[in-house]
Amino acid sequence: MPDGPEPVGPVGLITPWNFPMAIPGWKSGAALIAGCPFVLKPSSLTPLSAAKFVEVLDEAGFPPGVVNMLTGSGSVVGDALVAHPDIRVISFTGGVDTGRHVYESAAKKMIKVGLELGARTRLSRWTTPTSTSSWMASCLAPSERRDNVAPPRRV
């Protein structure tokens, strides 16, 4: 009998354009700690950051096949990753509509899915408080002005 949970198998990690190093780090770290190889599918807007991230992991000495990356559009590469028969878990960060599509596609295979959707203001910096007490008060007042770390993109 094993001492803890067994690895579930290969994990698909689909990450957004913002935080192109941090989110892959968080997701891949969890997969590796759980003993699972992963396939990273970064945003098509930030593939070079992800490629460098994977390069660093390769240089760290992970065996071949543990750290993998695919690039391309979500509608082609992301869909293929979710549908792949060897992928046992999908972790997706991004928009609600795309997340719904990922969830529905993964449900057809009855695999585990982790979604982080639409969190445009997860980390905020308050700009109005000037003292500790006013900062604490601003945490309780949602109307205070905040600068988003990853604000929505504007065209």
pTM over 0.85: no
How many C-beta atoms surround the C-beta of residue 118 within 10 A?
Answer: 13
The position carrying tokens 């698909």 is 12
- The stretches in the chain having pLDDT less than 50 are 121, 124-129, 131-148, 155
In sequence order, the 6+-apart residues with CB closer than 8 A to the CB of 23 are: 15, 16, 93
CATH entry, 11-117, from 3.40.50.300, 2.40.50.100, 3.40.605.10, 3.20.20.70: 3.40.605.10
Closest CA to 118 of 142, 145, 148: 148
